[in-house]
Amino acid sequence: MTEPRTMGVEEEFLLVGPDGSPVAKAAEALAASGHDNRESGTGALEPEFMEEQLETATLPRASLEELAQEIRAGRARAQDAADRVDARVAALATSPVPFTGTTVSRLRYLQARHTFGMTAREQLTSGCHVHVSVVDEVEGVAVLDRIGPWLATLLALSTNSPYWQGEDSDYASFRSQVWARWPTAGPTRRFGTPEAYHAAVEAIVATDTVLDRGMVHFDARLSPKYPTVEIRVADVCLHPDTATLLAALTRGLVETAAREALDDVEVTETYPELLRTAAWRAGRSGLEGDLVSPVTWRPAPAHDVVGQLVAHVRDALVDAGDLESVTELLGRLWSTGGGAAQQRAWFAESGGNLHRVAERAVGVTHS
């Protein structure tokens, strides 16, 4: 591509009441705001699996600055809808406060709740999905075959879910643990061709274990709706700047992988079980401990592994004009320690009040 690839971001948010507890008001908020019909565009609002959630989506953008503006606009639009039902929008990947989730009353969601039991009933988790454009499915599969080793690092950058049902999980991303319960979640093997990719998806659907192709929840996949690859590994980011950073690095990964494919750089086979181990470790400690380095496949400080990611995609960042912004956004992220560290700091400052953690997250969501 001579022009930077377009990218789009989908963010899922918690709806919370004045005291920070999740509230089942998504349908009411969407109806009150006039967004109860699905739409596209800046900050388009949609329901998610639970009534305690709203989802926003940006338009595809080539400019990182424009994407950052759209991310903030989407959060503001979600808050506007929530205001109409006396609720707040919080960029929390799990609720710090204990909850009982309410499945959205749509046939497909109710079928999933029946089929998957507690996995579905407890799925009040919020993620961030980044779409990056590809020329065609051949390029898309070539990208998927190459980016897997770096997805755990993206997860570590986004980690924002230390609390689960009122307790500290001891994970930076407990959302990743809850999400891993789904039968198709996680890393994938090398596919080689679009035909092999689609054959794998069809084989999964043919088992009658999932409801349809939409429930093939690979960490990265060909989008079933758009000409993009969709990277689905991240927590929803506490701060909009972190979501912007995540998008820039994801585009850099996709562009780097596409260039390697064009140059016939051989794909190094990486076992899915090793990728799963690296992702588990990223979800456990986030930015505060060691990660598994995709360069050596040995533990290394998170700061070093993130540096390796930036070095890996540096040429793509330079060509897109993103390197300076990524450097600045990373500096801001390191200064706070990320979403999970920020939540734990708020907990300590509040004297152990998880409601206060959720309340403070609302403010940062819109900063």
The predicted-structure confidence for 262-298, as pLDDT tens digits, reads as follows 999 999 889 999 999 999 999 999 999 999 999 999 9
pLDDT computed for residue 34 by the predictor = 84
Asked whether the beta carbons of 202 and 224 are under 8 A apart, the reply is: no
pLDDT computed for residue 4 by the predictor = 95
pLDDT computed for residue 42 by the predictor = 53
DSSP 8-state symbol, 87: -
Asked whether the beta carbons of 222 and 229 are under 8 A apart, the reply is: yes
Cα four-point dihedral sign 302, 306, 311, 312: positive
For residue 154, give the nearest of 259, 279, 64, 272 by alpha carbon.
279
Domains of the chain: 7-263+275-362 (3.30.590.20)
What burial class does residue 311 get, using C-beta atoms within 10 Å of its C-beta: 0-12 exposed, 13-18 middle, 19+ buried?
exposed
The whole-model pTM stands at: 0.97
What the block records as the tokens of 353 is 């009040």
pLDDT computed for residue 43 by the predictor = 59
Task: Give the chain's residues under pLDDT 70.
Answer: 1, 36-43
pLDDT computed for residue 37 by the predictor = 53
